Amino acid sequence: MKDDTLTLNRRHFVASTALTTLALGAGASLLTPSIAQASVMDIQEDDMVLGDRNAPIGIVEYASLTCPHCAEFHKKSLPGLTKDYIDTGKAFLIYRDFPLDRFALQAAILAHTAGEMRFFAVLKILYEKQAEWRGASNPTEELTKIGKMVGISQAKFEEALANTQLGESILKDRMVGQNDYQVSATPTLFINGDLYTGRPDDYTALNDYLQGL
């Protein structure tokens, strides 16, 4: 697959800055590190959340659907995390998009088009089949096939790809993560506001960390 890194123009950065200033109120311009660390856990209207939002442990994941390390996290760590923490009411997961290229953006659009109730199910398929569609000569065509498999017609997917509002919403997640929380790689995890510095795909280490909270 051709390396087609996602370029973000000045309009995206301006929009992100405006949103941040609005959220902080008049007169505020930059988040201090301590405030930024806490506010990363604030659930936004367009966040996709897995589990009980009132659970004592909150985990934020910034991820790109074309990132192999993100796929490893979803295949190696998320099943245990779901079984031991999310399904038992001990933790919840906030998934935020950080698309690294245009095909990651298209895949994110597909997942969001599936709707809130099916979002994580489609996300699982996209990560499980990542090597197949990401490595194809035409990733968009392969994503269209996955869409049909989960009940999203080609016409509906094409309509979603043309939906500027949806695309901007996904790019906003990346810009806020990058500008406000210094996210620079995927996957990046924040746990109860703290940056997790271990390997996300090492569930043993992640489990040890969570047990120590």
Asked if residue 78 lies in contact with residue 128, where contact means CB atoms within 8 angstroms, the answer is no
Question: Does 140 reside within a domain?
Answer: yes
Block means of pLDDT (10 residues each) for the chain, length 213 residues? Answer: 49 37 30 55 95 98 98 98 98 98 98 98 98 98 98 98 96 95 96 96 98 96
What is the span of the domain harbouring residue 20? Answer: 10-211
Question: Does 179 reside within a domain?
Answer: yes
Structure tokens at 13: 């950065």
What pTM did the predictor assign?
A: 0.84
Question: Does 156 reside within a domain?
Answer: yes
Q: What does R_g of the chain's alpha carbons equal in angstroms?
A: 17
Strand ordering across the sheet containing 57-63: 48-50, 91-97, 57-63, 188-191, 194-195
CATH code where residue 136 lies: 3.40.30.10
Whole-number Å distance between alpha carbons of 151 and 98: 25
Question: Does 82 reside within a domain?
Answer: yes
Question: Does 2 reside within a domain?
Answer: no
H/E element holding 49? Answer: strand 48-50
pLDDT at site 52: 98
Whole-number Å distance between alpha carbons of 204 and 188: 17
Whole-number Å distance between alpha carbons of 128 and 53: 26
Question: Does 1 reside within a domain?
Answer: no
Nearest Cα neighbor of 129 from 202, 62, 75, 83 is: 75
pLDDT at site 21: 30
What is the total count of domains within the chain? 1
Q: What φ, ψ does residue 12 adopt, rounded to 5°?
A: -65, -40
Question: Does 138 reside within a domain?
Answer: yes
pLDDT at site 30: 34
Report DSSP state, residue 86.
I
pLDDT at site 5: 56
